[in-house]
Chain A
Amino acid sequence: MKRVYVNEKWCLGCHLCEYHCAFADMNEKDMARALKNVKIKPKIKIEERDGVSFAVSCRHCQEPLCVKGCITGALTRVDGVVTINRDKCVNCYTCILICPYGAISSSDDGVVQKCELCIKTVVGTPACVRGCPNGAIVFEERQ
């Protein structure tokens, strides 16, 4: 299955992936209008320190701890993609605490949010991958 992989070697720390991620969710055509004066809450986040930077988003684990820990069954693994059913989520934060990568975060909608590989938004390549100027985020099949 194709997943999002990041390569720290080419990450510039420009944070553009975060903005493309936030924009992808909004169903808007114009990024300036969508994100003007908005404090974004992206599902991919740049970690950086001492000149090293890389993007972190959901790994879509084979055996996801978040799915195991979810008390309402809101998180499920469908065709390899760990997805969230917003109607079932009760915002208990168990998944946020249990995810070893810190890939799940709170949102403003009363439910948690995580990367779903853009399957619910744009078709094809995830927005962070398309928005990365240096090929540091790729969407590919790996063993």
Chain B
Amino acid sequence: MAINFLHPYYEVLRNYDKCITCRACERQCINEVHTYLPDSSRMVCDDGKCVNCHRCVSLCPTRALKIVRSGNTYKENVNWSGRIIDEVYRQASSGGVLLSSMGNPENYPIYFDKILLNASQVTNPSIDPLREPMETKISLGAKPTDIERDENDCVKNNLPPQINLSMPVMFSAMSYGSISYNAHESLARAAEELGVLYNTGEGGLHEDFYRYGKNTIVQVASGRFGVHAQYLNSGVAIEIKMGQGAKPGIGGHLPGAKIIGDISRTRMIPEGSDAISPAPHHDIYSIEDLRQLVYSLKEVTDYKKPVIVKIAAVHNVAAIASGIARSGADIISIDGFRGGTGAAPTRIRDNVGIPIELALASVDARLRNENIRDNIAVVVGGSIRSSADVVKAIALGADCTYIATSALLALGCHLCRSCHTGKCNWGIATQVPELVKRLNPDIGYKRLVNLLTAWQHEIKEMMGGMGINSIESLKGNRLMLRGVGLNEKELEILGIKHAGE
């Protein structure tokens, strides 16, 4: 047998004083880390198989388990970190592209954490949201710039189609296939109860979920999986996915092993065939081409539904957004480099794209300078982690935010970043029936509703503190923001002052 160069990252520590050998850990670990030894009536662990998903830790009734870094180190080297050495070993052994899941975990700046919010003191008094009305509703879509009148001089209703939301948060695109049926059901039911939207992702819409149409965004991506006229008309908006924050410039690949039963039918491809989304849309090579697709989709939906164009935050994002604002799209959604994914090449995920905060600020500024800001609403995603991030994004100029990683966390995800293995112990990023059933949507949707209800309370509190009683008054209100520890250039791009100024 060849030498295994890799030492386990994690060590499963079992407190044998607490372990009652109920074997729940063994039964719940799809990676087969835990084994029961009948001879000695003891549980043992194979640390090398552990992905640190915490399923066993969370289910252990006596809290006998914890997972720690194994602590095994190479000779210290700032340049050649343990992770980099391990990756070389892995590639030398496999010859393959390294795969990763979820968002970029590397040590790049998190601008949301370097931005602080304002609060009123003495003048312009703060507002108590428990006692006074506070508005978090938003209406997403292009806004008319001119007042038009008919022959009788009456004002014409020239408002393009809008989406109405109870709060400026939506669940972003995760396809049926990349996540499970139960995860989709949880998202759909939560969106319905909350009065927000969830997004089908590029895998089509399962027939059971058409009834959540009023809370659905249907996506059209480069693979065009599951796209047909009824699908396009089933939601309240259509999203054209040009790019994804976790893997800008890259398509998608759902392995044939996951294309089974309902997923094959929903995607309209044969069972067992790989679902490969090309990197570009093969019919879009310019803004004019994009415009054609935007209008094709509007045509098929009778101009009643707004069209969203989703792009990854990349270097020329402001210029790209300016083009999209002229393409006839109603909404642009920008996905930052921290955005999650079910699988992406590690090098792409960790090295391509730019932070959403900078992308948002520059897009908003560019659209304003060109007087086309009203042509298009701006939605941002790619690691909106809390209600504070939502408030900061709105103040930086976003109309609405997209969340996905936080939603999955609410459903039980522990960010072990092994979605690409298809063996999600929490029943989220998997299609294995005995794993999928671990996510009971009755529990899942309530946790999502709880999360966003809590965020809504917090958003109201923060707005109230600033003396603002409506999300609309916060939008693009960068005077409510100050930077800490940012340099002149960063402040210039973000369009905010430094704290103390």
Contact = CB atoms under 8 A, between A and B. Distances in A.
Contacts of B58: 133
B211 interface: no
Contacts of A32: 17-20, 62, 64
Contacts of A133: 58-59
Contacts of B18: 32, 36
A58 to B, nearest CB: 22
A16 B61 contact: yes
B440 interface: yes
Contacts of B440: 10, 134-136
B20 A51 contact: no
A23 to B, nearest CB: 8
A10 B440 CA distance: 7
B27 interface: yes
A69 interface: no
Interface string B270-306: 0000000000000000000000000000000000000
B23 A31 contact: no
Contacts of B22: 15-16, 18-19, 35
Contact of A31 (B41, B62, B443): B62
A12 B20 contact: no
A14 B437 CA distance: 12
Nearest to A13: B27
B24 A15 contact: yes
B497 interface: no
A16 B24 contact: yes
B442 interface: yes
B442 A135 contact: yes
A51 B434 contact: yes
Interface string A1-34: 0000000011011111011100000000001100
Contacts of A131: 61
A16 B19 CA distance: 13
A20 B61 contact: yes
Interface string B327-369: 0000000000000000000000000000000000000000000
A38 interface: yes
Nearest to B63: A32
Nearest to B24: A14
Interface in B103-125: none
For chain B, give the interface size range.
Answer: 20 to 34
> What is the predominant secondary structure among interface residues of chain B facing chain A?
loop
A134 B20 contact: no
Nearest to A132: B440
Contacts of B27: 12-15
Interface string A120-139: 00000000000101111000
B438 A12 contact: yes
B28 interface: yes
A32 B19 CA distance: 7
A81 B22 CA distance: 29
Contacts of B24: 14-16, 19
A75 to B, nearest CB: 30
A9 B27 CA distance: 17
A13 B24 CA distance: 9
Interface in A98-138: 131, 133-136
B166 to A, nearest CB: 26
Contact of B20 (A10, A13, A31, A136): A31
Given A14-B59, A16-B59, A133-B59, A9 B20 contact: no
A19 B20 contact: yes
Contacts of B19: 32, 36
B61 A36 contact: no
Interface in B55-69: 58-59, 61-62, 64
Given A15-B22, A19-B20, A31 B61 contact: yes
A24 to B, nearest CB: 12
Interface string B8-38: 0000000001111011100110000000000
A14 B20 contact: no
Interface string B30-54: 0000000000010000000000000
Most buried by B among A14, A16, A18, A135: A14
Contacts of A12: 27-28, 434, 437-438
29 contacts: A10-B440, A12-B27, A12-B434, A13-B27, A14-B24, A14-B28, A15-B24, A16-B24, A16-B59, A16-B61, A18-B22, A19-B20, A19-B24, A20-B61, A31-B20, A31-B61, A32-B20, A32-B64, A35-B22, A35-B62, A36-B17, A38-B20, A51-B433, A131-B61, A133-B58, A133-B59, A134-B437, A134-B440, A134-B443
Interface of A: 9-10, 12-16, 18-20, 31-32, 35-38, 51, 131, 133-136
Given A12-B28, A133-B59, A134-B437, 6 more contacts: A14-B59, A16-B22, A16-B61, A134-B440, A135-B443, A136-B440
For the complex of A and B, 9 pairs with smallest distance between CB atoms: A32-B18, A35-B20, A32-B62, A14-B24, A10-B440, A19-B22, A135-B440, A134-B440, A31-B62
